[in-house]
Amino acid sequence: MTSPQRVPGGFPVVGIIGGGQLARMCQPPAVNLSITLSVLAEAPDAAAAQVIPSAPVGSHLSVDDVLEFARSCDVVTFDHEHVPSDVLQALVDAGVPVHPKPEALLYAQDKLEMRERLTKLGVPCPAWARVRDVSELAAFGDEHGWPVVLKTPRGGYDGKGVRVIDAASEAADWFARGDDLLAEESVPFSRELAVLVARSPSGQSAVWPIVQTVQTDGICTEVLAPAPDLDDELSSHASQSALQLAGELDITGVFAVEIFEIPGSDGAAPSYVVNELAMRPHNSGHWTMDGSVTSQFEQHLRAVLDLPLGEVSARAPWTVMGNVLGGDYDQLYPTYKHLLARDPGLKMHLYGKGVRPGRKIGHVNVYGDDLDSLRARARHAADYLEGTVTE
């Protein structure tokens, strides 16, 4: 493997395991801070490998590849949460500073571990149980009501690994794999929110304004920052709780707490439960690239290097992020003439990925004073890139 080019002046090298879009989006702030990034990429043309010169190809599942990669890095962090425990442990044993640490990362890797720990800490969660077979699932459903939301504890993303089950027998194929599953009550939520937090190894932390995430078919399509009409008490409780969680779990770097807002009955204030934790810069934080004084990617670099954190306030009353999913055509550059002329305030972020239907290939941000018009602008740009509107 070739070593990353060090910048004179004592600047560090940050290693990122995984060469996806999150690693790619760390590059602009890294350039500005004169920090060198190095990524352990899945392939030579991975999203991050296109823009980061030091991008050796290797597997995050291989102890040898990861140790060799880490040898030229001052600190190692992640583009995704799928690095197995033995690989993480090998890094720690080799004395490599790793952020977030394996002990914290576990709670984003395994939803059963997460539920157990959050419940012990008194964080509001849906009713849940570890279920080992169809009869335990049936007992849970009979106690808490059907349907039940059933989850594989590890490896899920974008709703894969989540099933809504009306009868225990529907899950027989999952139990046949032999793993314990997580059963949850189906939460009657009104919307999904996310709390984005950064915490450094020395314990400084910062929390961005809470956002609303809009999902379509299990995939986040839009983020509204801040979440419109959010109850003040819910907002401060959820933010405080996320900061406390960061300390209790000793989380380092940027992470997101995904939450469900539950409407209060008879005019009572709304409440919330935590859905899950993501321990890395997160889709719900992409709005910060243009809408916050400090983007989540710059903040993540600051946090893992234990530098002072940046200001997290919003630059405008509203920012809207629209995810661009792969659509009808793969010629994206020709869209620029029309899109950039139509909306000079539009901020494009494409990930250099090949277009496949439904694949996240980029996002757009717009910010300003009028939420409805921002939503329309972001929607139009995403639709145009997807090929579903043509003017």
Q: How far is CA 126 from the centre of its chain?
A: 21
Of 145, 159, 247, 345, the one binding ligand ADP by CB under 6 A: 159
State the DSSP code for 52.
-
Q: Is 62 exposed, middle or buried (0-12, 13-18, 19+ CB in 10 A)?
A: middle
Residue with Cβ nearer ligand ADP (198 or 262): 262
Closest approach, Cβ 147 to ligand ADP, in A, equals 9
Backbone angles phi, psi at 327, to 5 degrees: -130, -135
Of 161, 270, 368, 387, the one binding ligand ADP by CB under 6 A: 161
Closest approach, Cβ 334 to ligand ADP, in A, equals 33
Q: Does 192 bind ligand ADP (CB under 6 A)?
A: yes
Contact 326, 376 (CB under 8 A): no
Q: Which stretch binds ligand ADP (CB under 6 A): 1-9, 73-81, 159-167, 170-178?
A: 159-167
In 10 A of CB 260, how many CB atoms? 18
Q: Which stretch binds ligand ADP (CB under 6 A): 157-165, 237-245, 317-325, 331-339?
A: 157-165
Backbone angles phi, psi at 328, to 5 degrees: -80, -25
Q: Does 126 bind ligand ADP (CB under 6 A)?
A: yes
Q: Is 68 exposed, middle or buried (0-12, 13-18, 19+ CB in 10 A)?
A: middle
Closest approach, Cβ 157 to ligand ADP, in A, equals 5
Kindly state the helix (H) or strand (E) to which residue 370 belongs, with its residue range.
none
Residue with Cβ nearer ligand ADP (140 or 384): 140
Contact 183, 137 (CB under 8 A): yes
Mark residues 246-265: x for contact with ligand ADP by CB under 6 A, - for none.
Answer: ------------x-------
Taking the CA atoms of 76, 78, 79 and 84 in sequence, report the sign of the dihedral they define.
positive
Q: Does 184 bind ligand ADP (CB under 6 A)?
A: yes
Q: Return the residue matching tokens 């949460």.
A: 81
**Residues 6+ away with beta carbon under 8 Å from 269:** 231, 233, 234
Closest approach, Cβ 76 to ligand ADP, in A, equals 24
First to last CA, the chain: 47
Q: Does 156 bind ligand ADP (CB under 6 A)?
A: yes
Q: Does 145 bind ligand ADP (CB under 6 A)?
A: no
Q: Does 166 bind ligand ADP (CB under 6 A)?
A: no
Q: Does 292 bind ligand ADP (CB under 6 A)?
A: no
Of 53, 218, 228, 264, the one binding ligand ADP by CB under 6 A: 218
What residue ranges bind ligand ADP (CB under 6 A)?
Answer: 126, 149, 151, 156-162, 184, 186-187, 192, 215, 218, 258, 275-276
